Amino acid sequence: MAELAQPLPVLTPDTTLAHAPPTAMQHLTILTGASRGMGLAMARQLLAPDRLLLCVSRQLNDSLDAEALARGCTLLQWSQDLADPGTARLRLQAWLDGQDHRLLSSATLINNAGMIPRIGPLDDCPADELAAALRIGLEAPMQLTAAFLGATARWVDAGWQGPRKVLNISSGLGRYPMAAQAPYCAAKAGLDHFTRCSALDEARRPGGARLVSLAPGVIDTDMQTQLRAGDPAAFPDLQRFVSLQRDGQLSSPDEAAARLLAWLERPEFGEQPVADVRD
Ligand SMILES: NC(=O)c1ccc[n+]([C@@H]2O[C@H](COP(=O)([O-])OP(=O)(O)OC[C@H]3O[C@@H](n4cnc5c(N)ncnc54)[C@H](OP(=O)(O)O)[C@@H]3O)[C@@H](O)[C@H]2O)c1
């Protein structure tokens, strides 16, 4: 009986679950930073009866749960602080190792969570904010990617043939320097370069994963609000961000999410490990 063959995801106290009537095969998507902003828009667009969606943020989103339930979709939300990337890696690895890969038709990791620490020169950035920006923006994506590539490689060794993809959400600021943004720019530059390196590793493996670090454009989220609220004395580019909003240059989270998810579906996904949706 197909319904009994479907494993229920492991529940922990800070996990919520909206469980749909199981289908025979599901696409697995793991998405960080899904509680708000562009990540939430991606999560909504990813909800589908044939997908198992695991969302990872500090906050759980009740409306996403309700939507999953109403639409008959399988959704897991983990409350997980990505400023503790080692714990996040172990948790993801254990969960992936507990999945029955024979019921999955593909596996995708989207590293979307990010944060901007205090805006200003590096010496004004408090030590804890600097560390958090690098942990959330760079170390967590690397640790989660390590867990994902390792666990799914074991599935491949066991004969699984589903496609494996990693999409890292980067930024133009990883490629162009900006004053008052050193930790954020450095994290995104690191994200781009680790993606290039891991793509080379995966290209050497049979059934290797495909990885892309993709800049999403400029989007009307909390992050842009934070940038516009910067101190003009400490942030020479403040006016650029004010103008982007005033001139209607910001994409909506829904538009940006749709472009990123369409990129994932391109047949040539992974041929260029570093890209920009505006290319
Ligand atoms: N907005 C833009 O114009 C723009 C431009 C270029 C690139 N990006 C990139 O696009 C991605 C999404 O940005 P956004 O604008 O949607 O940002 P946002 O609205 O500020 O949302 C950030 C997301 O990251 C999660 N997050 C932050 N700190 C976390 C932590 N310690 N642990 C776990 N999750 C954490 C947040 O969830 P919780 O608070 O619930 O933890 C939230 O879901 C980011 O990587 C950002 O750098 C954005």
**Tens digit of pLDDT at every position of the chain (279 positions):** 233 334 344 444 455 555 554 557 999 999 999 999 999 999 999 999 999 999 999 999 999 999 999 999 999 999 999 999 999 999 999 999 999 999 999 999 999 999 999 999 999 999 999 999 999 999 999 999 999 999 999 999 999 999 999 999 999 999 999 999 999 999 999 999 999 999 999 999 999 999 999 999 999 999 999 999 999 999 999 999 999 999 999 999 999 999 999 999 999 999 999 999 999
Q: pTM score, two decimals? A: 0.95
Torsion of CA 102, 98, 170, 241, to 10 degrees: 120
Query: How much is the pLDDT for 137?
Result: 98
**Ligand 1 atom closest to Cα of residue 35:** 43
In angstroms, what is the span from residue 32 Cα to ligand 1's centroid? 9
Best of 14, 64, 223, 261 to mutate for ligand 1, by most ligand atoms within 8 A of CB?
Answer: 223
195-to-93, 153, 216, 278 alpha-carbon distances in Å: 19, 17, 16, 19
| Placement of tokens 């040539």 in the chain | 268
Domains in the chain (CATH in brackets) are 2-217+254-276 (3.40.50.720)
Query: How much is the pLDDT for 18?
Result: 56
In angstroms, what is the span from residue 180 Cα to ligand 1's centroid? 18
**What residues flank ligand 1, with Cβ below 6 Å?**
33-39, 57-59, 81-83, 112-115, 136, 169, 171, 216, 218-219, 221-224
Best of 36, 64, 176, 241 to mutate for ligand 1, by most ligand atoms within 8 A of CB?
Answer: 36
Q: Which residues contact 266 (CB under 8 A, 6 or more apart)?
A: none
Cα(189)–Cα(183) distance, integer angstroms: 10
Residue nearest to atom 46 of ligand 1 (CA): 114
